[in-house]
């Protein structure tokens, strides 16, 4: 006798499709929650570190890293003069991602930690753990000079995109996706990553080096897989 084959009914197919839809919705919602948590963590990094810097300045009357009496104040190392920035001049000398142990931008973290304003190692030779990291494992750094130059003004760009960043110091966080960079900017500034006090710069040809020029990240290019360095002026 021929065997009888029974297929799925429309109701069963509909139930399967509903289950698949629920699973996909849960995955997408979970990813959105993860992105939201990362964005909040990035914003919290900027605010926590800036608060610690102001607290150090209020306590010792010098910026961390730039403190000429760091040995007396917190038992930390004293920086040499990086470039033309003299010690105790109210500016944090050196590049935001400086790896030179005698740069003020490098010694900031030692001074803040030995003043018990931030946690982490004070051993400057422990480069794997010395620099603070963000939620995407990117390096966080600080400098006294604006690290991002304005983007070139075009017919379609805002005139404010040609204005430089201004501030007493600049905090930068590296290795951030375009979507997270936009979320951070929307939370802390004007929502445009090439204007205001929060700006982003792209890496050069996918390398670890940042371009130094403000990038306008929009909904169309935020998902291109490119990573950015976001800097905030304080």
Domain ranges for the chain, please list them: 40-233
**Is the confidence at residue 114, as pLDDT, over 90?**
yes
CATH number of 40-233: 3.30.1690
- The pTM for the full model equals 0.82
Least confident of 23-27, 50-54, 63-67, 116-120: 23-27
Whose tokens are 């946690």? That residue is 119
pLDDT digits (tens, 9 = 90+) for 177-232: 999 999 999 999 999 999 999 999 987 655 555 678 999 999 888 878 899 999 99
Position 207 scores a pLDDT of: 52
């Amino acid at each position: 006798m021929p065997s009888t084959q029974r297929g799925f009914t429309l109701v069963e197919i509909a139930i399967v499709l509903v289950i698949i839809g629920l699973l996909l919705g849960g995955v997408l919602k979970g990813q959105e929650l993860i992105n939201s948590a990362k964005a909040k963590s990035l914003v919290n990094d900027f605010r926590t570190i800036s608060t610690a810097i102001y607290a150090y300045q209020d306590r010792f009357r010098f910026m961390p890293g730039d403190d000429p009496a760091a040995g007396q104040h917190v038992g930390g190392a004293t920086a040499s003069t990086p470039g033309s920035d003299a010690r105790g001049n109210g500016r944090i000398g050196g590049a935001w991602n400086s790896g030179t142990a005698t740069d003020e931008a490098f010694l900031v973290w030692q001074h803040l930690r030995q003043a018990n304003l931030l946690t982490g190692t004070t051993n400057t030779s422990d480069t794997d753990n010395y620099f603070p990291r963000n939620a995407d494992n990117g390096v966080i750094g600080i400098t006294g000079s604006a690290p991002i130059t304005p983007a070139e003004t075009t017919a379609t760009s805002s005139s404010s995109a040609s204005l430089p960043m201004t501030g007493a110091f600049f905090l930068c966080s590296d290795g951030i996706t375009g979507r997270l960079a936009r979320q951070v900017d929307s939370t802390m500034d004007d929502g445009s990553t090439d204007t205001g006090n929060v700006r982003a710069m792209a890496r050069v040809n996918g390398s670890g080096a940042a371009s130094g020029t403000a990038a306008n990240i929009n909904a169309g290019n935020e998902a291109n897989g490119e990573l950015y360095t976001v800097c905030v002026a304080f």
